[in-house]
Amino acid sequence: MRVIIGYSMRSGSTLLAHILSGHSQARAYSDISSNWALARIALGLQPPGTVCIKPVDLLYLQRRLRLWERYDRCIWLARDPRDAYLSTVESGYAYLLWRRGRMEQGIDVGLLARWRRIYDSYLADPDPWYRVHYEDLVAEPDATLAGLLTYLDLPHEKLYPFQTFDIRHGGDYKIARSNTVRDDSRHRYRRELTAAQMEVFDRYLGPHMRALGYPLSDDIPHFVGKCEALHNPAPIQENVKYAQPIRHEAPIGSTCGMDE
């Protein structure tokens, strides 16, 4: 079976491919290491067993290149674009084959255009994809992975905590230090972006975020920006729930916009 992962930069796709590579009946290949498998599938060759491909996201910037049409299962991994932006900037890969854009409130709107270009294609035709949210993968890994294995028609196995990379077990070489994901990788934007920066995301990506189920700044009760929070702490709120996202064929509810 041929499986492909769709995503935009710094959405956790390498992590997901690494986790799936821990299944006894699956092999996963990421980024440059996936090129040979991509070529074989493009030639119409059927690999033995279940092969999961996570290509470089530059391929998803090519709107006419519909990679997924040759695959039996298609997984789309979404992440709040504000957290993805923060991770992209600190990773050092933000401008890999992409020009710097205009700055607004300290936010490079060129990088937002990059994200939007990929999601324009996804949201125009989401039906082939089974959507998984990074936030669910972090907050509810067992339930999220169980639903994913059902979609992939693979036997249920314990995949989390996952194995770190080594020569014998394989996986992605970049995941060699930890076998879990820190919970504070979710909702970073609430701690690190100002209210003015949040408005930049609302303005450029608002409809896309709503389509994915992510709250805009006005949807977050008592949100205060990074600088303002030092002087105006928000009142503590317990069990705040946001509207659930509509996702294609997903079996469980999402926590992508929630405060736990």
User: Each residue's pLDDT tens digit in the chain (260 positions)?
Assistant: 999 999 999 999 988 998 998 999 999 888 777 778 888 888 777 778 899 999 988 889 987 888 899 999 999 999 999 999 999 999 888 888 789 999 999 999 999 999 999 999 999 999 999 999 999 999 999 999 999 999 999 999 999 887 765 444 444 455 556 667 788 889 999 999 999 999 999 999 999 999 999 999 999 986 766 655 433 434 333 343 333 444 444 433 455 554 43
Superfamily of domain 2-103+114-182, CATH level 4: P-loop containing nucleotide triphosphate hydrolases (3.40.50.300)
Please state, as a whole number, how many other Cβ atoms lie within 10 Å of the Cβ of residue 227.
12
DSSP E strands in the chain: the ranges are 2-6, 26-30, 50-54, 73-78, 103-104, 107-108, 130-133
User: What confidence tens digit (pLDDT) does each residue in 64-114 have?
Assistant: 888 899 999 999 999 999 999 999 999 888 888 789 999 999 999 999 999
The answer to whether the beta carbons of residues 199 and 217 sit under 8 Å apart is: yes
The closest alpha carbon to 55, from 105, 2, 117, 104, belongs to 2
CA 196 to chain centre: 24
CA 6 to chain centre: 9
pTM equals 0.82
Give the C-alpha separation, 107 to 42, whole Å.
Answer: 38
Q: Where are the domains of the chain?
A: 2-103+114-182
Residues 6+ apart with CB under 8 A from 45: none
Provide the 8-state DSSP code for 232.
S
Encoded tokens for 225: 């920006």
